[in-house]
Amino acid sequence: MAPSAGKKRAPPTAEEIDERNMVGVNKETVTNTTSNDYPDNYANEEHAWDKDDFRRSFKVQWHDNQQFEAQFSLIGIDASIANAFRRILIAEIPTLAIETVFVNNNTSVIQDEVLAHRLGLIPFTGSKKVICDVMGFWQKPAEGEDTWSTTFDTNTVGLSLKAKCTHNKDAPQDSKDPKVLYHNAHIYAKDITFDPLGGQSEWFTEDDKIRPVNPDILIAKLRPGQELDIEMHMHKGYGWDHSKYSPVATASYRLMPTIKITQPILGEDAKKFVQCFMPGVAGVEKVTRQEARTPDSGYEGHEGELKVVVKDAMRDTVSREVLRHPEFEGKVKLGRRRDHFIFSIESSGQWDSDELFLEAVKTMKRKCSVLKPQVTNMVYTF
Please spell the DSSP secondary structure of 350-364, one letter per residue: SS-HHHHHHHHHHHH
Q: Is residue 212 part of a domain?
A: yes
Q: Is residue 80 part of a domain?
A: no
Q: Phi/psi class of residue 296: alpha, beta or left (left: φ > 0; alpha: ψ in -120 to 50)?
A: left
Mean pLDDT of the chain: 90
- Among the residue ranges 84-88, 191-195, 203-207, the one predicted with the least confidence is 203-207
- State whether the Cα torsion 128-129-132-136 is positive or negative: negative
Same domain, 222 and 312: no
Segment (H or E) for 368: helix 353-381
Write out pLDDT tens, residues 12-55.
Answer: 787 887 888 899 999 999 998 887 777 777 777 777 888 888 89
* Residue 220: HSE in the Cβ half-sphere, 13 Å Cα cutoff: 28
Alpha carbon of 288 to those of 219, 267, 294, 300: distances in Å? Answer: 62, 14, 10, 10
pLDDT greater than 70 at residue 8: no
In single-letter form, the type of residue at position 284 comes to: V
In single-letter form, the type of residue at position 343 comes to: F
- State whether the Cα torsion 79-80-83-88 is positive or negative: negative
Count the domains in the chain.
2
Same domain, 274 and 155: no
Same domain, 241 and 100: yes
Q: Is residue 315 part of a domain?
A: yes
C-alpha span between 183 and 163 (Å, rounded): 9
Write out pLDDT tens, residues 55-71.
Answer: 998 999 999 999 999 99
C-alpha span between 265 and 13 (Å, rounded): 28
Q: Is residue 370 part of a domain?
A: no
- Strand, coil or helix: what is 101? strand
Q: Which of 204, 126, 198, 210 is nearest to 160 (CA)?
A: 210
Q: Is residue 364 part of a domain?
A: no
Is 182 in contact with 167 (CB distance < 8 Å)? yes
Confidence (pLDDT) at 2: 46
Alpha carbon 111 to chain centroid, angstroms: 33
- State whether the Cα torsion 360-70-314-292 is positive or negative: negative
Q: Is residue 69 part of a domain?
A: no
Write out pLDDT tens, residues 209-241.
Answer: 999 999 999 999 999 999 999 999 999 999 999
The model's confidence at residue 1, banded by pLDDT at 50, 70 and 90, is very low
Centre a 10 Å sphere on the Cβ of residue 311 and count the other Cβ atoms it contains. 16
Confidence (pLDDT) at 219: 96
Alpha carbon of 184 to those of 119, 174, 181, 195, 215: distances in Å? Answer: 17, 19, 10, 21, 15
C-alpha span between 272 and 16 (Å, rounded): 31
Same domain, 122 and 218: yes
Q: Which of 186, 221, 246 is the last residue of a domain?
A: 246
Write out pLDDT tens, residues 123-149.
Answer: 999 988 898 889 999 998 888 888 788
Is 190 in contact with 214 (CB distance < 8 Å)? no
Is 155 in contact with 187 (CB distance < 8 Å)? no
